[in-house]
Amino acid sequence: MTRSVVIVFPEWVDHVADRAAGRERIDTVGDTATMRRFEAMVRTITGVSPLVEVEGSGTVVFAARGPSRYFGGDEVLARHLDEVCAVAPDGLVVPRGVGIAGSRFAATAAARLALSRARPCVVSDELTAEFIDALPVAALGDLGGIDGEVVDLLGRLGLSRCATVRDLGERALIDRFGEQGRRVHGLVSGRDVVHLAPGPPPHDFAASVSFDVPLVSVHGTVGAARSTVETMMARIAGFGQQCVRLMVTVGTDHDEHSERLWGDPRGFSAVDVCARLHAQLSGWLVDDGADPDAPTAGIVRVGFVPVECREALVVQPLLWGGRQENVERAARSVAMALAVGGVRVGVPKWEGGRDVATVWSLADASLVDLSDVGAAERRVTEGDGAPRAWTGAIPVPAPAAIAPVPPQVRLVDADGADVSVTGRHDFTTPPASVEVGGSCLDVLCVAGPWPVEERWWDPRRRRRQARAQVLVRNPVAGTGVLLLVAENGAWSLLARYD
């Protein structure tokens, strides 16, 4: 076994991944101070091992063999790393977990265990297999980068521990999950060794971009390099491969350089690469004079070297129907629409609330990794963390069409008199018809009204409404359901159901 060292910084884990998933725009100002602290910690770790790999933005990996011999053993090396990573250059105490084990998967699990124990965790080669066997199957997705659908299926099959997955055998896993099955068996068997020594890039995928005028802003550099990144990733995809380890090199006009080896077991997309570049520059391109290692000139060159590429995962049928290729087809359609120019494509994102018009927002599709099914599910179910249950919200199912500017309508009774809502939230008279845009629609059935009172304690911002769903008969289109709202003595059409 080739032993690996993993250091996890929970403050920074998934900071870049959130940007790539659309939860934060990669070209907006982020927590620059946080990224500066992380960059300084990575430079400190390179004093122990010159070649390190950064996964996400909070996990650092390197081989243990050389540093362990130099410091006198794994235990001494782990304690030294825990000490040098304890305090950031700005004096803040840094939460961290240091793990060393016989495989990267086991070392990552040991680092997470070290976080809870508040001391380093070293797993010997003799105990690495038993350590992996005891891990829950969910660790394959959380720590090993295995697709969530594969992990979920393994759990539903009654395989709760990695030992039971290993007992299935490599052939059975490959028969069901293809290349993912091979990776699963490598993880649970402790054979996920990745040599960090970079060799020549596969094929001719390396790319770089130079700037005649030095660039001094993070966002300007990322924007200028975006087209180069997209071209490089398209060339890799054209060979049926995906990049899982990428060396990003940045050079200044004064011949100062920043190199970072990034890794992602799920494979990079163009958005992922831009997010990594943004994080690397945010921690290095400092202009306040506080960091002595900060560059003294603008950026004149950015280089990308795919250190490791693998065959793209084959299309696997989903367990209950449908195919992953549907996601790829949708992503290609969006890319074609954006290539036309002047076209804006958005993807839905959950925002929460009671107003049917603001429950969902549209995130710019050009800044979202559309191939990440897990990120898409989080966008529509979690958003930025807004709760799903809102008292007074519109019940499911959601309306099919929402009016951007709700038009005024009249809700009248059988005598043609306007229908309003009483203080007890009842109709003054039974509704008989709805007048919408010059058309009179007969009311067949009514649900409601439902009262909504917001910020009743604030005289300037309080709001009181009553909503109702009405089943109407349209002489041309047949029956349909309308969502009406009464506010300030008038009715408006909020939405329509199909």
Pick the CATH number of 4-188 from 3.30.70.270, 3.20.20.70, 3.40.50.300, 3.40.50.970: 3.30.70.270
CA distance 291 to 307: 30
Q: How far is CA 291 from CA 52, 115, 134, 330, in A?
A: 21, 28, 44, 45
| Domain extents in the chain | 4-188, 207-311, 325-381, 401-497
Query: How confident is residue 341, by pLDDT bands cut at 50, 70 and 90?
Result: low
Q: Which class for 195: exposed (0-12), middle (13-18), buried (19 or more C-beta within 10 A)?
A: exposed
Instruction: Name the nearest CA neighbour of 111 among 123, 122, 98.
Output: 98
Query: How confident is residue 15, by pLDDT bands cut at 50, 70 and 90?
Result: very low
The dihedral through the CA atoms of 152, 153, 158, 162 has a sign that is negative
Query: How confident is residue 303, by pLDDT bands cut at 50, 70 and 90?
Result: very high
Query: How confident is residue 31, by pLDDT bands cut at 50, 70 and 90?
Result: low
Of all residues in the chain, the percent with pLDDT exceeding 70 is: 85
Plot region of 352 (φ>0 → left; ψ -120 to 50 → alpha; else → beta): left
The pLDDT value recorded for residue 194 is 57
Tell me: the pLDDT tens digits for 35-59? Answer: 777 777 888 888 888 788 887 657 8
Query: How confident is residue 121, by pLDDT bands cut at 50, 70 and 90?
Result: very high
DSSP characters for 209-248?
EEEEEEE--HHHHHHHHHHHHHHHHHHHHHTTEEEEEEEE
DSSP characters for 334-366?
HHHHHHHSS---EEEEE--SS-TTTSEEEEEGG
Tell me: the pLDDT tens digits for 255-265? Answer: 888 888 888 87
Type and span of the H or E element at 309? strand 299-311
**Does 209 have pLDDT greater than 60?**
yes
For range 128-148, the mean pLDDT: 87
Tell me: the pLDDT tens digits for 368-383? Answer: 777 677 777 778 777 7
Q: How far is CA 104 from CA 8, 182, 193, in A?
A: 12, 16, 6
The pLDDT value recorded for residue 333 is 74
The pLDDT value recorded for residue 100 is 92
Which position has the higher pLDDT, 316 or 183? 183
For range 408-427, the mean pLDDT: 86
The pLDDT value recorded for residue 416 is 84
CA distance 199 to 196: 9
Task: Give the orientation angle of helix 270-284 with respect to helix 218-238, to 10 degrees.
Answer: 150
CA geometry: angle at 181 spanning 310 and 382, to 5°?
A: 85
pTM of the full structure: 0.54
Mean confidence (pLDDT) of the chain: 79
The pLDDT value recorded for residue 401 is 81
**Does 19 have pLDDT greater than 50?**
no
Q: Which fold has domain 207-311?
A: Dna Ligase; domain 1 (3.30.1490)
The pLDDT value recorded for residue 296 is 82
